[in-house]
């Protein structure tokens, strides 16, 4: 099959072999931290110290991580002029960029800070704290530029348009439990895309894909890219 337009959605599983934990696997972040306390606007309002501490630790881990063979294979695909490949990631690390890819960060980025008052964004310092001032408006309502539960993910109009015209949709290393990303496969399928899941094991929504490939991303993704572009 000839897939000119390719859309790849990645989740925490693609960065697992780079040493960054996933959320819902055994021992994952949500078994060690309360999602409500550290990943909701209400949690931040209740205890900003705790929330900043959580993201400061994750920012430190992410800063040390290196892209793995899966990130590199996707970058190779994105460079291939025979295809138009868009990467949408739910991940807040910068491992796609470190491998040379461009990616839409629908859940924001650990490396960026956001002012909740004026909307200004800037490179986050290694450690953020309550009381940090916004460099643009000087108020102290600064926060990590990550999308919390109950907030609207970024880039949705662009993603919707893309899913309506993609020939191939590939979800890599995501459990398919968080919307709207979990619904992208149905959107792409409805518009005629061939849909592939690449995951360590079949996700709970594996049945929504035409094809599933199971295995660690660092092995399965390079093999899949080789099959596609040689
Ligand atoms: N290779 C491929 N897949 C893997 C690997 C690996 N080495 N290791 C784990 N996986 C798979 C797991 O089987 C699981 O299906 O990656 C998936 C990770 O799922 P989650 O932990 O739920 O992560 P994700 O789908 O990215 O979460 C979505 O939830 O908490 C929010 O905002 C957060 O962006 C995140 C969103």
CATH of residue 45's domain is: 3.30.1600.10
Ligand 1 pocket, mutate which of 22, 27, 197 (most atoms under 8 A from CB): 22
Do 197 and 86 lie in one domain? The reply is: yes
Ligand 1 binding pocket includes 206 (Cβ within 6 Å): no
Ligand 1 centre to CA of 131 (Å) is 33
| Same-domain status, 29 and 78 | no
The answer on 219 and 190 residing in a single domain is yes
Residue 224 has pLDDT above 90, yes or no: yes
Tell me the two tokens of residue 214. Answer: 């199971």
Q: What is the mean pLDDT of the chain?
A: 97
Q: What percent of the chain has pLDDT over 90?
A: 99
Q: Confirm or reject: Cβ of 89 under 6 Å from ligand 1.
A: no
Q: Identify the residue whose tokens are 């055994």.
A: 26
At residue 132, the pLDDT reads 96
Question: How far away, in angstroms, is 136 Cα from ligand 1 center?
Answer: 35
Residue 31 beta carbon below 6 angstroms from any ligand 1 atom? no
Q: Are 117 and 214 within one domain?
A: no
114 with 102, same domain: the answer is no
pLDDT band at 137 (very low <50, low <70, confident <90, very high): very high
pLDDT one-digit tens code per residue, 108-136: 999 999 999 999 999 999 999 999 999 99
Residue nearest to atom 10 of ligand 1 (CA): 13
- Residue 2 is predicted with a pLDDT of 79
Q: Is the CB of 67 under 6 A from ligand 1?
A: no
43 and 132 in one domain?
yes
Question: pLDDT by residue (tens digit) across 65-99?
Answer: 999 999 999 999 999 999 999 999 999 999 999 99
| Host domain of residue 49 | 23-64+110-146
Instruction: For residue 25, give the ligand 1 atom closest to its CA.
Output: 21
Q: In total, how many domains does the chain have?
A: 2
15 CA to middle of ligand 1, Å?
Answer: 9
Q: Are residues 193 and 162 in the same domain?
A: yes
Known catalytic residues? 107
> Is the same domain home to 225 and 122?
no
Domain final residue pick, 146, 171, 197: 146
Sign of the CA dihedral with 56 first, then 116, 40, and 156 last: negative
Q: How far apart are the first and last CA of the chain?
A: 14
In the chain, DSSP assigns E strands to 5-10, 84-89, 103-105, 108-115, 121-123, 142-146, 168-172, 194-199, 211-214
Q: Same domain for 9 and 84? A: yes
Cis peptide before 134 (omega within 30 of 0): no
25 lines ligand 1 (CB under 6 A): yes
Say yes or no: 58 and 101 in one domain: no
Q: Is the beta carbon of 177 within 6 A of some atom in ligand 1?
A: yes
Is the CB–ligand 1 distance for residue 70 below 6 Å? no
* 214 and 170 share one domain: yes
Q: How far is the CA of 216 from the centre of ligand 1 (A)?
A: 12
Tell me: do 97 and 196 sit in the same domain: yes
* pLDDT higher than 70, residue 1: no
pLDDT for 230 equals 83
The CATH number for 162's domain is 3.40.50.1220
- Residue-wise pLDDT for 184-220, tens only, equals 999 999 999 999 999 999 999 999 999 999 999 999 9
What number of residues does the chain have? 230
């Amino acid at each position: 099959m000839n897939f000119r337009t390719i859309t790849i959605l990645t989740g925490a599983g693609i960065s697992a072999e780079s040493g960054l934990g996933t959320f819902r696997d055994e021992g994952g972040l949500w078994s060690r931290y309360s999602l409500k306390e550290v990943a909701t606007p209400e949690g931040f309002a209740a205890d900003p110290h705790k929330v900043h501490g959580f993201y400061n630790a994750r920012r430190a881990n992410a800063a040390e991580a290196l892209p793995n063979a899966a990130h590199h294979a996707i970058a190779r695909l994105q460079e291939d002029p025979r295809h138009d490949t868009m990467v949408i990631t739910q991940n807040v690390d910068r491992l796609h960029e470190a491998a040379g890819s461009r990616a839409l960060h629908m859940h924001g980025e650990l490396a960026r800070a956001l002012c909740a008052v004026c909307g200004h964004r800037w490179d986050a310092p290694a450690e953020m704290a309550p009381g940090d001032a916004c460099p643009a408006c000087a108020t102290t309502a600064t926060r990590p530029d990550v999308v919390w539960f109950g907030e609207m993910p970024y880039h949705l109009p662009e993603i919707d348009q893309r899913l309506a015209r993609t020939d191939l949709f590939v979800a890599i290393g995501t459990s398919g439990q968080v919307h709207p990303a979990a619904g992208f496969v149905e959107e792409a399928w409805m518009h005629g895309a061939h849909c592939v899941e690449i995951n360590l094991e079949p996700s709970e929504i594996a049945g929504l894909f035409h094809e599933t490939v199971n295995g660690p991303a660092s092995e399965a993704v390079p093999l899949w890219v080789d099959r596609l572009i040689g």
